[in-house]
Structure 1
Amino acid sequence: MSDRRRIMPLRDVKDHPKRKVNLIAVVVEFSIPRMSVGTDYCTILKVIDQSQQNPELSVNVFMDDVHQLPHIRSRRDIIVLSCVRIERHNQDPCAVFNKSFSSYALFDGKCSSAFRPYQASPAFCLIASDKPFITSLKNWSLTFQLDPGISPYVVSLNHIKEKDYHDLVCKVLGVCEVSSNEWVLFLWDGTDVPPLSFNTKLEEHYSIQLQISVPLPTNAISNFPCVGTVLRVIADPAYGNLGYHFHSIGEWVRIRNVLFEVDSGLWKGVLSGTSKVRLLSENDNSVIERKRNLTERLLRSGRVPMSSYHVSNFLTVLTVTDYESTKFSTLMDLLTFSKDKGIFKCIVRVVAIYPLQVKDFWSPAGLYRIRVTLEDPTARIHALLCGEDAELFFGGYPSISVLAAKMNKLLGVSENDDSTRNPPWIQCCVELHLANEAGALGARHYHIRFTILVL
């Protein structure tokens, strides 16, 4: 085998259609590996080099096994591509990796004298003449400001819309297999998703979901931020083992073409076939802006939901003066609280109740026993409103008609024949205690206390 391989600069690729060429480039973007329309798995890379940064060259890679596809570990990583064929797609040149005669290797993009790839296809062989190209490209990329790929489609989570595709600049908090070959990404940008309306038929919300996908144990969410929505993004089985080939945990990314849907009154994202990921630096302007916005939010309003900023008169008041100066907590604060008990002041919405009928609010002994579902942008929980706490909340034992009117206000049921309801924000005290030492979500009991509904 020759000890020399001709490397083509990216700027010359357009002049060599239908030719097989060798490339060495920096990977700036990748699609999450998934099954193609055939039997192969595929990923699309966007690459640049010293000769061309715009437009970025697309590299389409197909393999029989998802594990053999290139899995990009970090920003500025370098790929060596051997014998890729230059084609045209929508008049733009692109490179196509053929599993029969092409090969690749991935190298850490950090400045290093090591030439050992962290991943390579079976047929790849590093040639001595490759090394100067790799070194030169590493040195150049460390000083070149990579394009974060911001587009008009980038939005914050507080501006998403149902059934729309959006791009997000966000932090990847984790990836989890929630059922057999169903994976969920957890994304966060420090803002709150918009509050949603509900169907007026309360019976449809008797078994309302507390979260998208299966419940997570406390230790799985203990490192989640307590301010801002952690969005669940569903990956269908076409993505295979997402946890294996998604290495961006803890990183800021720009993720393209996420479809936003509503499930049981909760926002969720869905990875589409065109979803792509671009790794971002902590110093990218888009990342700095989101960090600055979060800092300003906490200084201005603390842990209060963004959608409640305009509320001046809540439907509830607190009866204990000890909590007047206490800062508000989010429901995620309660979910991740490590002690056995505590009392928190929260701003929430009541999105569901049980029993459904007001006439069933009392036990045979004549005592209130109600379960309410509370929601804020960070979480949903079930909380009990019972006994003396419920007497205080409702102002004693009003008639069924008065109590029904109070509950309609609390649940956001309109007086006209509207098909949707929009629960208002209320403030309340929530007491937490753990039923055992396991710390599982199901072992946490919540009670509404020291709160009066003023209607």
Structure 2
Amino acid sequence: MSNRKSDDGDDYKFLRIVDAMASINQKVNLIGVITEIGIPKQSRGTDCCCTIKIVDESNASSGISVNFFAASFEKLPHVESAGDIIQLVRVVMKCHGSGVNVVFDKKFSSFALYEGSEGSKFVPYQVSAKFQASDRDNKFIAGLRKWTLSNRPETASSDSLSLKEIKQGQQTNLICKVLHVCEVKDGELMLFVWDGTDVPPVNIHTKLDDEFEKPLPLQLEATPLSRNILCKFPTVGTVLRMTNGKCNEKLGLHLLKAGKWVHFRNITFEVRSGLWCGVLLSKSKFSLLPDDDDYTLERLRINKERAKCKWDRKPYTCFPWPSKITDTDRQDVPFVTLMDILTHPEVIAKFRCVVRVVAIAPGHPKDFKAPCGTYRLRLTLEDPTARIHAYLYAEDGVKFFGGNPSIATMIKMRNALLGVEETDKKPRNPPWVECCLTSYNIDEIDLWGSIRYRIFDTTLLG
């Protein structure tokens, strides 16, 4: 591209990618547009490593991979968005299988990261320890920014799924927004991601008789997220948990920032305790999408319309209407999601929602009443946004079961509500039903930490 003098007097130049690929085992200097970032991970030795894919005008379709090695995750490139520009100094071209890639050696290589949008400053937002900037680099950065205006690297892939399309065990790509990153065990991080759609409902395999001893969990993490964090989540659409699964490598997931839209590649999905979980693999990669990416703007537009419509907060899979095995006395009240309920600004409030009853305790109708004859049950409710416990007590139980039916009748009613087949040994597939919930607190001092939910004004029709 051009020759210039380095500070130590050695002549060097930025090579086009297509020219660099012919310079095997040589140290070269490159500048390119970032299209893809591998998940940072601990290498087999003591280093941390990641792979970045770059393109330029000489190789806009396939580009080339750059393998980085550093002493810590923090010293690896922290790319803020696909389309940003990276300047690489004294990197080595290596043959890899039938192709060629670039190796960044921590001993002598250096890099700098720049925003990719035209009009941005020529000040890098991250540089490595050995990097030395020059004003003469600016024309190359400006040239790439101008080139990307009409040759913008493809970010959203046509083979990417939305959360409503995922399947268990399927390896695929996903475009979503990272809402939160936290440590759930020693060294194990969990991502909370969202795209505005609802994950499909799944069968429940736990036994009803085990609900007291081994209750169905409300979330996959051992400690539930705080209310302050939940209040920052969208109230429509599934917030999916994503972990590194059985990957033995230490992944640098802490480098992912909340609020960023990400294109994940080569991830899979599992069902754990009836809850969907995304699983990152050692070969997973991602691209951080720019804020003006067409796909993300479309997803935000659709979600805004859905959240704004007071009658459109039902789960996707219950349309056109939930099962008619329940009825409520508040047909004029709009539906809300369970996340709406969890983040409601008032401690005591009343709601109407569409849920699945995935567990009940006690499990057998003969135990639904206390010795004094009062109904006392705990139901586990879920919708695409959350899972909660809700209690059915006293006169609300009488209303729910339509009085005091026989045990045989209650077994049929329970089976219809929970999707139980003729035997409890088969997985349950609970139908979507509507119900009314009210919130209350059991501790006047710790209001938010002691909120409970109770079913009322709801009748199980059988």
Provide the TM-score with structure 2 as the length reference.
0.90
Question: CA-to-partner distance for each residue in 1:403-446, whole Å, 9 max, x for gaps?
Answer: 12211111111126862110111100000124456565x52210
Alignment of 1:201-280 (within 5 A): 201-206=207-212, 207-213=215-221, 214-235=223-244, 238-239=249-250, 242-243=253-254, 245-247=255-257, 249-280=258-289
- What's the counterpart of residue 363 of structure 2? 356
**Distance (Å, rounded) in 1 between the aligned partners of 2:156 and 2:13:** 30
Distance 1:200 1:103, change over 3 A: closer
Q: Name the amino acid aligned to 1:217.
A: S
1:279-314: CA deviation from partner (whole Å, max 9, x where unpaired) = 223443322443354356555951000111144642
| Residue matched to 1:158 | 164
In 1, are the aligned partners of 2:41 and 2:50 still within 8 Å (CA)? yes
CA distance in structure 2 between the aligned counterparts of 1:160 and 1:115, rounded to whole angstroms: 41
**Equivalent runs, 1:407-426 vs 2, <5 Å:** 407-415=414-422, 419-426=426-433
Q: 1:39 aligns with which of 40, 43, 46?
A: 46
Task: Tell me the CA shift for residue 129 of structure 1.
Answer: 3.7
Aligned equivalent of 1:308, options 318, 342, 362: 318
Cα separation, partners in 2 of 1:205 and 1:238, compared to 1, 3 Å: farther
CA pair 431-417 structure 1, distance change in 2 beyond 3 A: closer
Give the drift of 1:199: 1.8
In 2 relative to 1, CA 12–251 (structure 1 residues): closer, same or farther, beyond 3 Å? same
* Cα distance, 1:138 vs structure 2: 3.2
Q: CA deviation at 1:366?
A: 1.5
Tell me how far 1:271 sits from its aligned partner: 1.4
Aligned AA (2:71): D
Residue 3 of structure 2: aligned partner:
none
Structure 2: how far apart are the matches of 1:300 and 1:386?
29
Q: Provide, for residues 19-43 of structure 1, a one-character-per-residue CA deviation record: whole Å limited to 9, x for no partner.
A: 2211011222211211123332111
Matches within 5 A, 1:277-426: 277-294=286-303, 297=306, 299=309, 302-311=312-321, 313-319=323-329, 323-415=330-422, 419-426=426-433
**For residue 453 of structure 1, what is the aligned residue in structure 2?**
460
The one-letter amino acid paired with 2:165 is H
Native 8 Å contact 1:113 1:135 kept in 2: no
Q: What is the deviation of 1:119?
A: 2.1
Q: Which range moved further: 280-289 or 99-108?
A: 280-289
In the alignment, which residue of structure 2 is the partner of 1:195? 201
Change (3 A) 1:437 1:185: farther
Q: Measure, in 1, the Cα distance between the counterparts of 2:242 and 2:85.
A: 28
Deviation per CA, 1:103-128, whole angstroms, max 9, x where unpaired?
A: 21222334467544332222222245
Tell me the alpha carbon deviations over residues 382-423 of structure 1, each in whole angstroms, 9 at most, x when there is no partner: 000000000000011222222122111111111268621101
Aligned equivalents of 2:286 and 2:211: distance in 1?
36
Q: Deviations over 1:329-376 (max 9, x none)?
A: 000001111112111100001101111232222123211111000010
User: Residues 105, 257 of structure 1: CA spacing in aligned structure 2 closer, same or farther, 3 A cutoff?
Assistant: same
Moved more, 293-302 or 357-366: 293-302
Alpha-carbon distance change, 4 to 140 in structure 1, aligned in 2, over 3 angstroms? farther
AA aligned to 2:86 is I
Equivalent in 90, 97, 100 of residue 104 of structure 2: 97
Alpha-carbon distance, 1:140 to partner: 3.3
CA contact (8 A) 1:329 1:344 kept: yes
Distance across 1 between alignment mates of 2:173 and 2:271: 17
Q: Distance in 2 between matches of 1:76 and 1:151?
A: 18
Number of the residue aligned with 1:74: 81
Give the Cα–Cα distance (whole angstroms) in 2 for the partners of residues 374 and 313 of structure 1.
15
Q: Judge which range, 64-73 or 431-440, deviates more.
A: 431-440
How far apart are the structure 2 equivalents of 1:65 and 1:108? 23
In structure 2, C-alpha distance between the alignment counterparts of 1:173 and 1:414, rounded to whole Å: 38
Q: Distance in 2 between matches of 1:111 and 1:295?
A: 29
Classify 1:235/1:429 alpha carbon distance in 2 versus 1 (closer, same or farther; 3 Å). same
Deviation at 1:246, TM superposition (A): 1.5
Contact 2:375–2:392 at 8 Å: present in 1 too?
yes
Distance of 1:205 and 1:41 partners within structure 2? 44
Distance 1:438 1:115 in 2: 52
Distance change in 2, residues 1:62/1:205 (3 Å): farther
Structure 1: which 5+ residue stretches go unaligned?
none
Q: Which residue identity is paired with 1:267? A: W
Contact 1:66–1:240, Cα closer than 8 Å, also in 2: no
Alpha carbons 1:348, 1:426 under 8 Å: kept: yes
* Cα 1:113–1:363 shift into 2, 3 Å: closer
SS at match of 1:171: strand
Go from structure 1 to structure 2 and tell me whether the alpha carbon gap of 1:398 and 1:98 turns closer, same or farther (over 3 Å shift).
same
CA RMSD, 1 decimal:
2.4
Q: What is the alpha-carbon distance in structure 2 between the residues aligned to residue 86 and residue 316 of structure 1? A: 67
Distance 1:205 1:58 in 2: 51
Distance 1:417 1:448, change over 3 A: closer
Give unpaired runs (5+ residues) of structure 2: 1-7
* SS in structure 2 of the partner of residue 452 of structure 1: strand
Deviation track 1:209-253 (CA, whole Å, cap 9, x = no partner) reads 10121300110110211111010111368445533x223x22222
Secondary structure at the aligned position of 1:193 is classed as coil
Contact residue 3 and residue 127 of structure 1 kept, 8 A:
no
Q: Which moved more, 1:426-435 or 1:326-335?
A: 426-435
Question: Is the Cα contact below 8 Å between 1:26 and 1:47 reproduced in 2?
Answer: yes
Partner SS state of residue 184, structure 1: strand
Task: Compare 410-419 and 167-176 and name the one that shifted more.
Answer: 410-419
- How many residues align? The count is 448
> % of aligned pairs identical?
42
Distance 1:111 1:285 in 2: 18
The DSSP-based 3-state class of the residue aligned with 2:88 is strand
Q: Secondary structure at the residue paired with 2:61?
A: strand
Report the secondary structure of 1:392's partner residue: helix
1:62 positional shift: 1.3
1:76: Cα distance to partner?
A: 2.9
- In structure 2, give the amino acid aligned to 1:120: V
